[in-house]
Amino acid sequence: METTILSIEQLSCPSCVRKIESGILRIPGVESVQVKFNAGKVKVTFDASHTNTTEIKHVVEQLGYVVR
């Protein structure tokens, strides 16, 4: 398992947190997602043989958020 932490802009409400968590959890190989609303950070643990950080970033961007 690998873990990545992404900085995300535009986290403005708790529904944003749920939207991001749901979107990332749909990616095959993702084990867990923790969104820290106040910090604008997302911690993702995933199986690198099924997905990668680039794919996770892409999903978050498709949901309408900016990943730094």
Does the pLDDT value for residue 10 go beyond 90?
no
Counting residues of the chain whose pLDDT is more than 70, the rounded percentage is 100
Write out pLDDT tens, residues 14-65. 899 999 999 999 999 999 999 998 999 999 999 999 999 999 999 999 999 9
- Crossing angle, helix 53-62 and helix 14-25, to 10 degrees? 130
> What is the reported pLDDT for 43?
98
User: What is the set of domains in the chain, with CATH numbers?
Assistant: 2-67 (3.30.70.100)
Q: What is the pTM of this model?
A: 0.92
pLDDT reported for residue 12: 84
Inter-CA distances, 35 with 13, 21, 66, Å: 12, 7, 14
